[in-house]
Structure 1
């Protein structure tokens, strides 16, 4: 008999992407199972074309679904599907509360989560392994024989046409070496200085490489600074949808990024990756999984790590973890991967 599973992951884009192997593992072991996932509206497109997902439940927790009325609405939506097992990689009190009120008989969460006593099965979140493997530990109570670690992401034909149209407009061919550069992050201290990125981009362009900048609408000012009005730069900041990024990063020869979601997109498509770390460290479990990758960081800096997610500003006032990483070092790593 196949089960009916609900996965709760209402965190950032990267966290949503790293949840995908849970879906793959469930469907591989129980092909006839019914799998739903609850995500914030911004992350719906991560899953819309995934053939292994049966329903997506959007939860606008900071918008229209905020408050008691919104909470009741989401609980009612969950109950309609009569799930028999809930799996929550998300650690928040709100997710634990949703689990409780869902009345789903089997509720699996991390022992370290807020209000974890609302779960029927509590799993100690291990340290020292990738976040994917931590999430997959939540499936231990289900006794699955085959574990799938791969991230599988999907794009539509319209996403392919959009990116290929951009390449045609900029006369980029399949012979060109395209380097995708992500100079931003939600957290300011996780951003390698824009001055360093600008210098790096000039080096890459002078080497004859094609550089594509990515980011959200909030990152346009940073990308404007980085490209420095150079017409050779393809600036897609604020112009791409999630699935456009899937196709672009899958197509690229190299991704250079801060510790943020594009790293995990590259992992899904085995795109060579340079991951620049500042206040965070690879040991947190969010490092790249591409076969060819390089992690750039300042070793033996006593104040690192200073937080799990980074922060608004450097508490030590020197920001050496990022300032001391020089463009020449990242450029050298890029040349070795290309």
Structure 2
């Protein structure tokens, strides 16, 4: 009888993407494995085409599943699958509570997790390595022989047609160089100033490149400012699905982004990447894995890092970590990578 594994990762998009190597490693070592994953609804599409995932369990923790009744419903669903192993990269109180009530015999989580005593195996989260490597440490109790640290993401023919249809509308062909720019982030202090992104986009289009802007519905105002009626900037902000982004970023010649999820998409496809760091630092483990990548940050700023995720506003009121990174630095770096 095949062994049954459940992964719980109900954090942001980037966190979900970085759990994918867990799936690859489990399936590589246990070919008959049945693999399930619990994610928030907006991240279902990260895994919906992954042939190694057998069941995706959506958990709308901030919506209709919020509260005790929602948690009870989720636990009931999980119990119905009779999983043998639970693996929890997410360290929240809520995740540990789900793990405990799931009654899954083997529960693996980090020592640093809230309520870590609920896990049958507690793994110390290693420092100084990429988040992918940290997550893979959770598989140590399973005695697997080989680990897969590659991120593998999948798109459909529909996603391909959507992106290529946009390129055709702009008469863009395969010899044209597309630069994808992600000018926003969930956290305001992780956003490089929009004025700087605008200058970078304008300069790159002057040199003959096409720029594609991406983001969510919440980022439309920022994208409008960056585009500024430039005919060589294609604004797809709020217009793409997750798997559309997979194909777009895989196709691109370069991604320029804040410390945000598109960096991890680029890592899956080895797309050259420029990542701009402000309040956070690469040492947290979320840096790009693409072979051609550059990290741009202000070194030796005493107030950095000021938090794991950034914040709403700069506590020091000067925002030097971002404002002191000037556009010409990003432009010069981009031209080196292209």
TM-score (structure 2 length as normaliser): 0.99
Local SS of the residue matching 1:57: strand
Runs of 5+ unmatched residues, structure 2: none
Local SS of the residue matching 1:6: strand
Local SS of the residue matching 1:222: helix
In the alignment, which residue of structure 2 is the partner of 1:235? 235
In the alignment, which residue of structure 1 is the partner of 2:260? 260
Local SS of the residue matching 1:208: coil
Q: Render the CA deviation track for 1:100-148: whole Å, top value 9, x for unaligned.
A: 0000000000000000001000000011000000000000000000100
| Aligned-residue offset at 1:2 | 3.6
In the alignment, which residue of structure 2 is the partner of 1:9? 9
Local SS of the residue matching 1:299: coil
CA distance in 2, matches of 1:231, 1:210: 9
In the alignment, which residue of structure 1 is the partner of 2:326? 326
Within 5 Å, which residues of 2 pair with 1:115-154? 115-154=115-154
Local SS of the residue matching 2:312: coil
Confirm or deny that 1:314 pairs with 2:293: no
Runs of 5+ unmatched residues, structure 1: none
CA distance in 1, matches of 2:224, 2:33: 47
Local SS of the residue matching 1:179: strand
Within 5 Å, which residues of 2 pair with 1:60-71? 60-71=60-71
CA distance in 1, matches of 2:229, 2:324: 26
CA distance in 1, matches of 2:67, 2:187: 26
In the alignment, which residue of structure 2 is the partner of 1:337? 337
CA distance in 2, matches of 1:164, 1:99: 43
CA distance in 1, matches of 2:254, 2:200: 14
Confirm or deny that 1:285 pairs with 2:285: yes
In the alignment, which residue of structure 2 is the partner of 1:220? 220
In the alignment, which residue of structure 1 is the partner of 2:108? 108
Local SS of the residue matching 1:78: helix
Confirm or deny that 1:172 pairs with 2:196: no
Q: Render the CA deviation track for 1:71-113: whole Å, top value 9, x for unaligned.
A: 1100000000000100000010010000000000000000000
In the alignment, which residue of structure 2 is the partner of 1:28? 28
* Pairs aligned (count): 338
In the alignment, which residue of structure 2 is the partner of 1:82? 82
Local SS of the residue matching 2:263: helix
| Aligned-residue offset at 1:67 | 1.1
CA distance in 1, matches of 2:5, 2:208: 49
CA distance in 1, matches of 2:188, 2:124: 31
| Aligned-residue offset at 1:68 | 1.2
CA distance in 2, matches of 1:173, 1:33: 42
In the alignment, which residue of structure 2 is the partner of 1:197? 197
CA distance in 2, matches of 1:172, 1:211: 11
Give RMSD over aligned pairs.
0.5
Q: Render the CA deviation track for 1:39-93: whole Å, top value 9, x for unaligned.
A: 0000000000000000000000010111111111000000000001000000100
In the alignment, which residue of structure 2 is the partner of 1:274? 274
CA distance in 2, matches of 1:127, 1:171: 47
CA distance in 2, matches of 1:190, 1:171: 34
CA distance in 2, matches of 1:231, 1:206: 11
TM-score (structure 1 length as normaliser): 0.99
Question: Runs of at least 4 residues of structure 1 off by over 4 A?
Answer: none
CA distance in 1, matches of 2:157, 2:323: 41
| Aligned-residue offset at 1:230 | 1.2
